[in-house]
């Protein structure tokens, strides 16, 4: 793979050790031949921050990485995720792995994973993308909501529930999983729709094909909807409907050549089955 020569860092200074690790990685980058380095310590990325960069290195948790998704996808550059948070499904490099592998990764020893993004349209000219999920719920947390869902113009059903999670395969291990939805391989070209605490016990997750166009109508009287993109950006919606589909652009994640998706699942979700250590 081509080496990275112009690198942008995004660091969450609230994560213990993140600032110090970032300084170490910047020094490694210099020794690896990186010619241009940017560093952003704020919670909000400056407009055009990734312009002219080959890659972005995020040092923090999955939330920090999700905050960089829109701009990285827009510029078409990969994200290198270094975990200083808790679970770390997306920021797959540990601090020690980053210290030992960062130099060779920047030199070209990596592979790129291409991940689906969800596109959400709210009224004319308002659209956003999410890597994990789009949550639709009542603006007031304590109120139930009635949502009517159409797929390619055909009525699916109406839900009386706390909300609905629309998840990408990447986001299937996030809010979707916590709400009882399935784990989906990140390469599967699908969208998962999982109702939250539906008032009909037979309502379960529905998996839609990649080309589906979903449309959601608010059928709750005297209420407004809250639309949350990756848990990062919230919008209060007064429009009649919301549209969700897979976005035409995708997000690139730079991973080590030995990356194993199911290895990450076993580690993060503590899968063990009947396996025991043999001596």
Positions marked active-site:
62
Split into its structural domains, the chain has a count of 2
Q: List phi, psi (to 5°) of 168.
A: -80, 170
Query: pLDDT tens, 62-120?
Result: 999 999 999 999 999 999 999 997 778 899 899 999 999 999 999 999 999 999 999 99
Do 123 and 210 sit in the same domain of this protein? yes
Instruction: Please tell me the distance from the alpha carbon of residue 164 to that of residue 234, in angstroms, as a whole number.
Output: 15
Percentages helix, strand, coil for the chain, rounded to the nearest 5?
20, 35, 45
| List of residues 6+ apart from 20 with CB closer than 8 A | none
Do 54 and 72 sit in the same domain of this protein? yes
| List of residues 6+ apart from 267 with CB closer than 8 A | none
Do 82 and 177 sit in the same domain of this protein? no
The SS3 of residue 150 is strand
CATH number at residue 61: 3.40.50.10330
Do 170 and 220 sit in the same domain of this protein? yes
**Helix orientation angle between 18-31 and 95-106, rounded to the nearest 10 degrees:** 20
Instruction: Please tell me the distance from the alpha carbon of residue 209 to that of residue 129, in angstroms, as a whole number.
Output: 18
- Inside any domain, residue 277: no
What local confidence, expressed as pLDDT, does residue 277 receive?
53
Do 137 and 178 sit in the same domain of this protein? yes
- Inside any domain, residue 279: no
- Inside any domain, residue 240: yes
Do 224 and 134 sit in the same domain of this protein? yes
Do 97 and 189 sit in the same domain of this protein? no
What local confidence, expressed as pLDDT, does residue 194 receive?
98
What local confidence, expressed as pLDDT, does residue 223 receive?
87
Q: List phi, psi (to 5°) of 17.
A: 80, 0
Instruction: Please tell me the distance from the alpha carbon of residue 131 to that of residue 166, in angstroms, as a whole number.
Output: 11
Element (H, E) at 70: helix 62-75
Which regions in the chain score pLDDT beneath 50? 279
Angle 257-265-107 (CA atoms, 0-180°, nearest 5)?
A: 20
Q: Is the dihedral of CA 59, 262, 3, 28 positive or negative?
A: positive
pTM recorded for the entire structure: 0.92
Do 173 and 259 sit in the same domain of this protein? no
Measure CA 2 to chain center: 25
What single-letter DSSP state applies at residue 104? H
Sheet holding 206-209, edge to edge: 206-209, 190-196, 163-167, 133-138, 225-229, 233-237
Of 201, 227, 72, 212, the closest CA to residue 147 belongs to: 227
Query: Where do we find the tokens 């529905």?
Result: 206
What local confidence, expressed as pLDDT, does residue 274 receive?
64
- Inside any domain, residue 236: yes
Parent domain of 125: 118-246
- Inside any domain, residue 278: no
């Amino acid at each position: 793979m081509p080496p990275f020569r112009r690198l942008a860092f995004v660091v969450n200074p609230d994560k213990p050790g993140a600032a110090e690790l970032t300084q170490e990685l910047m020094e490694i980058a210099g020794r690896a031949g990186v010619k241009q380095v940017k560093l952003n310590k704020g919670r909000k990325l400056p407009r055009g921050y990734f312009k002219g960069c080959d890659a972005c290195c995020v040092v923090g948790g999955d939330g920090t990485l999700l905050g960089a998704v829109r701009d990285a996808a827009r510029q078409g550059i990969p994200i290198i995720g270094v975990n200083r948070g808790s679970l770390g499904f997306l920021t797959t490099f540990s601090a020690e792995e980053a210290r030992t592998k960062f130099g060779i990764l920047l030199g070209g020893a990596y592979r790129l994973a291409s991940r689906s993004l969800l596109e959400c349209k709210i009224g004319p000219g308002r659209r956003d993308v999410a890597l994990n999920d789009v949550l639709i719920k009542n603006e007031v947390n304590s109120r139930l909501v009635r949502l009517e869902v159409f797929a390619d113009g055909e009525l699916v059903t109406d839900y009386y529930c706390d909300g609905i999670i629309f998840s990408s395969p990447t986001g299937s291990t996030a809010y979707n999983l916590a709400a009882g939805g399935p784990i989906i391989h990140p390469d599967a070209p699908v969208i998962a729709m999982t109702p939250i605490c539906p008032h009909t016990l037979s309502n379960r997750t529905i998996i839609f094909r990649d080309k589906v166009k979903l449309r959601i109508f608010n059928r709750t009287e005297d209420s407004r909807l809250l639309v949350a993109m990756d848990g990062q950006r919230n919008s209060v919606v007064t429009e009649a409907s919301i549209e969700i589909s897979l976005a035409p652009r995708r997000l690139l994640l730079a991973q080590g050549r030995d990356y194993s998706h199911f290895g990450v699942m076993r580690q993060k979700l503590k899968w063990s089955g009947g396996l025991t250590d043999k001596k």
